[in-house]
Amino acid sequence: MEIEKAILVAKISDLEELEELKLLSKTAGVKVQNVLLFGGEPDPASFLRSGKLEELKYLVMEQRADLVIFNNDLSPVQLRNIEKEIPARIVDRTMLILDIFAQHARTKEGKIQVELAQLEYLLPRLTGRGETLSRLGGGIGTRGPGETKLEIDRRKIRKRIHTLKKELEEIKREREVQRKQRLNLPQIALVGYTNAGKSTLFNLLTGANVRAEDLLFATLDPTVRKVNFKNNWEVLISDTVGFIRNLPEELLTAFRATLEEIYYVDLILHVIDISDKDFRKQIEVVESILEDMGIEDKTIIRVYNKIDLLSKEEVRYLKQELDYKPSVFISAKEGIGIEKLKDLIVNELLKGVRRYKINIPYNKFNLFQKYRGKLYIEEENYKENFVEIKARVPKEYKKLLDELR
């Protein structure tokens, strides 16, 4: 497939976001040909004033661009008016992100969520050509439902949205059943700004093979793995979709199911790309979204990642400046600081968990072996008639103590 060429449009005041828009475009498989910057407030009717609209038209024709990508979201009116003037496909920020999600969704749930978000966003933006999705055909901003449902009208779209929401509710119920079968193991969720290195760290901690690339939203579908920490203690770790500033409301709503694992975890690892000059703003984006979701009572460990991309002096300075606790500095790619991270995880998860000294008769040792991974074994001594165990025992397993004695 031939790579599509694009012109990017952004406000001069949004230069910080321009690099992110370029990476979004790269992730979508687009080659950026040029950038058009503009000042002032957007025009309510056509977003760009007439002079800038003419400049954009000239750029599109000169560069033979296939599409124009706006860093902002366009209203239905703005979208229609721009399409009349510009001889290229018009894609706004949300449409671009939806396209990336459509490319990366792998599971049934992920695909349903993508289609739902796309349809809810497209519904008010149908261009009036028979009120169909006939302008969809192929390429960036057109993937997903449009490929197979070119003649869906508004009524059918609303019916499809209703069906998709019912399917998501069913999947949610199935996940709740799966969650109850996890035997009360401690649970950790990785969150972070997209491309912060969450999936690389997840793979390192769990031995999984989750897609990890220098692309935005490489991970969409929730992934949960059981991992043995220090002393063979069993813990569940889940990877989640990356956050991004100005995350489209349609996506935040549609992907609640992906993010809902966070509600049930005991500990959150907030993975941060400390080599990114905007990392402070990214921290604010992620933690404000968590706050908006009502997740305020969870312990958050800030995991400052990618220290291999900084000098030792820079790392030393940042360690002094960033006094957030608990936190740790690592490089998931190079394996630096991982043991410190694991120790910090164990210490945080075991806060408030009581220590017990248990003498287990040998005739009950098999029962102990069955539950070994659920207890944090600190010491194990083999005596003549029993095994002496010193362990941290989560409250869910206190009844087990009587059975073992």
pLDDT (tens digit, 9 = 90+) per residue, 391-403?
998 887 878 777 7
Bridge partners of 270? 191, 302
Average of per-residue pLDDT across 179-187: 73
Give me the pLDDT at residue 290, please.
Answer: 87
348-369 average pLDDT score:
89
Average pLDDT taken over every residue of the chain: 84
pLDDT given at position 284: 92
| pLDDT score at 125 | 76
Are the C-beta atoms of 31 and 3 separated by less than 8 Å?
A: yes
pLDDT at 183: 57
C-alpha to C-alpha distance for 211 and 361, rounded to whole angstroms: 46
How does residue 372 score in pLDDT terms, banded at 50, 70 and 90? confident
Choose from 136-140, 161-165, 216-220 the range with maximum mean pLDDT. 161-165
- pLDDT band for 55, please (50, 70, 90 cuts): very high
CB atoms within 10 A of CB 30: 25
Please give the pLDDT value at position 32.
95
For 109-136, write each residue's pLDDT tens digit: 778 888 888 888 888 876 543 333 444 4
The pLDDT score that the predictor gives to residue 210 is 55
Q: How far apart are CA 28 and CA 4, in angstroms?
A: 10
141-173 pLDDT, tens digit per residue, is 666 554 444 455 778 888 999 999 999 888 888
When pLDDT is averaged across residues 351-362 and rounded to a whole number, the result is 89
- Specify the pLDDT at position 146: 47
Crossing angle of the two packed helices 50-63 and 76-85, in degrees rounded to 10: 60
Q: Say how far apart CA 117 and CA 121 lie, in whole Å.
A: 6
Closest C-alpha to 6, from 85, 81, 89: 89
User: What percentage of the chain exceeds 70 in pLDDT?
Assistant: 86
Instruction: Give the rounded percent of residues in the chain with a pLDDT score beyond 90.
Output: 42
Phi, psi (degrees; rounded to nearest 5) at 244: -155, 150
Q: Which value, in Å, is the radius of gyration of the alpha carbons in the chain? A: 25
* CB-based contact 348:392 (threshold 8 Å): no
Higher pLDDT, 110 or 29: 29
Residue 108's pLDDT band (boundaries 50, 70, 90)? confident
Q: What angle do CA 222, 228, 229 make, to 5 degrees?
A: 105
What do you get for the CA distance between the two ends of the chain, in Å?
Answer: 67
pTM of the predicted model over 0.75: yes
User: Which pLDDT score is estimated for 212?
Assistant: 54
In sequence order, what are the beta bridge partners of 239? 190, 223
Average pLDDT over residues 321-338: 94
Taking residues 220-233, report their average pLDDT. Answer: 80
Closest Cα partner for 224 from 263, 197, 176, 187? 187
- pLDDT score recorded for residue 148: 45
Compute the distance between CA of residue 308 and CA of residue 318 in angstroms, rounded to an integer: 13
Q: Which of 128, 303, 92 is nearest to 202 (CA)?
A: 303
Which pLDDT score, from 0 to 100, does residue 191 have? 92
The pLDDT of residue 297 is above 90: no
For residue 241, pLDDT beyond 80: no
Q: Give the pLDDT of residue 133.
A: 45
Nearest to 369 by CA among 330, 324, 394, 404: 404
What is residue 75's three-state secondary structure? coil
60 vs 109, higher pLDDT = 60
Helix (H/G/I), strand (E/B), else coil: 217: coil
Where is average pLDDT lowest: 93-97, 283-287, 337-341, 400-404? 400-404
Q: Is 167 exposed, middle or buried (0-12, 13-18, 19+ CB in 10 A)?
A: middle
322's tokens: 């960033």
